[in-house]
Chains A and B, each alone.
Chain A
Amino acid sequence: MDPRIEQYLLGQLDENDKAAFEKEMENDSSLKEEVRTHAGVLQGLDEIRAEKLKSHFQELESNLPKEESNEEKVVEMQPSKGLGSIWKVAAAIVLLAIPTYLILNSGPTADELYNQYYQSYPNVITSTERSQEENPPEQNEALAYYESGNFEAAIEAFQAELEELPEAADMQFYLGVSQMETNRLEHAIESLTAVVESNNTQFRDQALWYLALAKMKNGNEVEAEGLLKHIITKENSYSTRAEEILEQL
Chain B
Amino acid sequence: MAGTNPTKTLELNPQQWMDEIRGGNRQLLDEFYLNNREDFIGWGLNNYRIDREQLVDIYQDTIIIFYENILYNRIKDVSSNLKTYLYGIAKNLILKKFRDDRKIDRHEENVQEHLSFQAGYDFEDLSEIKGKVKTELDSLGEPCRSILELFYVENQNIETIAQKLDYKSKDVVKTQKSRCLKTLKEKILQANV
Binding site for B on A (CB under 8 A): 1, 8-12, 18, 22, 25, 35-50, 52-54, 57-58, 60-61, 67, 69, 71-72, 74-78, 126-129, 132, 137, 140-141, 144-145, 147-150, 152-153
The reply to whether A48 and B182 form a contact with Cβ atoms under 8 Å apart is: no
Whether a CB of chain A sits under 8 angstroms from the CB of B12 is: no
Contact partner, A48, options B50, B121, B153, Cβ 8 Å: B153
Contacts of B185 in A (CB 8 A): 37-38, 41
**Nearest 3 A/B pairs, CB to CB:** A44-B133, A40-B129, A11-B73
| Beta-carbon contacts under 8 Å, B142-157 to A | 148-149, 152-155
Q: Known: A1-B178, A45-B152, A75-B49. Contact between A141 and B133, CB under 8 A?
A: no
Contact partner, A129, options B63, B104, B152, B181, Cβ 8 Å: B104
The reply to whether A37 and B130 form a contact with Cβ atoms under 8 Å apart is: no
Q: Known: A9-B119, A54-B64. Contact between A41 and B130, CB under 8 A?
A: yes
Bound CA span A35–B126, Å: 11
Whether a CB of chain A sits under 8 angstroms from the CB of B82 is: no
Binding site for A on B (CB under 8 A): 30, 33-34, 45, 47-52, 54, 56, 60-61, 63-64, 67-68, 71-74, 94-95, 97-99, 101-102, 104-106, 109-110, 117-121, 123, 126, 128-134, 137, 148-149, 152-155, 178, 181-182, 184-185, 188-189
The reply to whether B64 and A9 form a contact with Cβ atoms under 8 Å apart is: no
Bound CA span A147–B119, Å: 34
Interface of B is mostly: helix
Beyond A22-B121, A145-B95, 7 additional contacts (C-beta under 8 Å) are A43-B126, A43-B129, A43-B133, A48-B153, A50-B68, A77-B49, A77-B54
Contact partner, B119, options A11, A54, A145, A149, Cβ 8 Å: A11
9 A-B residue pairs with CB within 8 Å = A40-B188, A41-B184, A43-B129, A45-B153, A49-B154, A78-B101, A145-B95, A147-B98, A149-B48
Bound CA span A223–B10, Å: 61
The reply to whether B99 and A144 form a contact with Cβ atoms under 8 Å apart is: yes
Contacts of B188 in A (CB 8 A): 37, 40-41
Bound CA span A193–B133, Å: 59
The reply to whether B60 and A40 form a contact with Cβ atoms under 8 Å apart is: no
Q: Which residue of A lies closest to B118 (CB)?
A: A11
The reply to whether A74 and B60 form a contact with Cβ atoms under 8 Å apart is: no
Q: Which residue of A lies closest to B42 (CB)?
A: A71
Closest-CB distance, B150 to chain A (whole angstroms): 11
Residue with the greatest number of chain B CB neighbours at <10 A, chosen from A9, A41, A127: A41
Closest-CB distance, B17 to chain A (whole angstroms): 17
Closest-CB distance, A2 to chain B (whole angstroms): 11
Contacts of A47 in B (CB 8 A): 130, 133-134
Closest-CB distance, A155 to chain B (whole angstroms): 13
Closest-CB distance, B18 to chain A (whole angstroms): 12
Contacts of A8 in B (CB 8 A): 119
Closest-CB distance, B39 to chain A (whole angstroms): 14
The reply to whether B126 and A53 form a contact with Cβ atoms under 8 Å apart is: no
Bound CA span A149–B48, Å: 6
The reply to whether B126 and A10 form a contact with Cβ atoms under 8 Å apart is: no
Q: Known: A35-B121, A44-B130. Contact between A60 and B33, CB under 8 A?
A: yes
Q: Which residue of B lies closest to A140 (CB)?
A: B106
Closest-CB distance, A29 to chain B (whole angstroms): 13
The reply to whether B64 and A12 form a contact with Cβ atoms under 8 Å apart is: no
